[in-house]
A and B are shown apart, each in its own frame.
Chain A
Amino acid sequence: MTLGQQILQQLINGIALGSVYALIALGYTMVYGIIRLINFAHGEVFMIGAFVGYFAITLFKFSFIPALIFAMLFCSLLGIIMERLAYKPLREAPRIAALMTAVGLSIFFQNLMVYLKWVGASPKAFPRVIEITRYEIMENVYLTSDKILTLGVALALMLALQYVVHKTKMGRAMRAVSQDKDAAQLMGINVDTTISFTFALGSALAAAGGILYAVSYGKIIYNMGTMPGLKAFVSAVLGGIGSIPGAVAGGMLLGIVENAVSAAGMSMLRDAVAFAILILILLIKPTGLLGKNTREKV
């Protein structure tokens, strides 16, 4: 295998992983964009999405796509409930209050899963939803069917999101509210509904991310959301928090870098790399790659 082939192979692997980060990062970035909150529980929505998919397939005998849609719907609802019950009462409170609530929700969901008899603390094998076949797209460079599935679903969802945000009334409302909540309200936009919708959208994407992640790793566990959640947040910051294309670019980039680090034989440091990137980006360009420089009005 030549170096060129190796690089190409790792690039493919990196993009597949990165597309999952991107899906989660989209939720972070949209919620942050609209209510300036780091929703720490977002990684748990990702995890719950994977579990709902698991039960849909094993218990209800759904096939892959219906299970995916079911999990996305379930998590949308969860996102809306979470927002209404926990975050909405704190919208005018100091930011630290909402952040703490988010942390509380995050560990609540994790430990609730441990507590539930049919989930528990030990990992579960995620059912094979697709026959793993390897296609040699170039000499020594392979694409596996699960990666195609991941990339395909992620891409389709990103396009759908693009459509929703730019071509629908709700999308326009989302953009308006994230610019200026009060002005949007005056223009007759229902701010509450828009925020709920944003949570629903972000949570659905996270659920999809969770299932795709489960498909490639074959295992699910109650704390599976922590690290991907953290990394997705780093992706969002890397791309410029609040920016939708930024979240996608950041996710891909992080996936690629992480894969490169693993391929270079330093997989132990894989998790540390995301952290190093976060520190670096905050030092060099805190607005991220595609973020805009906004100044607080005084």
Chain B
Amino acid sequence: MLRTEGLGYWYQDKEQPLFQDINLEFEEGQSYAILGHSGTGKTTFLSLIAGLDKPREGDIFLNDRSLKQIGLTNYRRHDVAIVFQAYNLFNYMSPLNNLLTAMAITDASHAGDRGYAQRVLNDLGIGDDLITRNVQRLSGGQQQRVAIARTMCCDAKLVVADEPTGNLDEDNTKEVIDQFQRIAHEQQKCVIIVTHEPDVAARCDHQYRLENKQFVRLA
């Protein structure tokens, strides 16, 4: 589904790229974990496949169409859903309105369907008492679940997350990873998670480690 070809990126110095000549493939219905030491370029890599930045070298293909062809804004709107470590939500809205807003912007097939958004939230343990409350009055774990619910409501087949459990305790972490697994297996989406935590990585279908400018596949 998603394929990188000779992907390379550097910030200032071309001679010191973060990674180089990366050729990877990600499939629908599978979850992938990306591990690596701090500062190796995991977030940078994620920003490229999320369409938030352009590669310096090589190209990324979605179903054999290059992102350049698709256009980054268009790609972000229709093909990829992103979960950040924090600040995922519109802080002046309720969980329900956050979902409805994202569905409207991304032209999701369920756009405007409050009932659908409500069911998805309920499914993730955001009860009816919480869904119309301002998101700032939700716990970190609840907020992160709302962000995950958002990716479930939108049609994008690719879901990327940058340390989505970085701010969460053990129980919430487990809960969130379960949801990502459901997205991959039940919704048949491709989930790519950057994480520091080996436990989190272990629960994904595939694991990669970024070291020495290369992605190394772990057993």
Q: Are these two chains actual partners, yes or no?
A: no
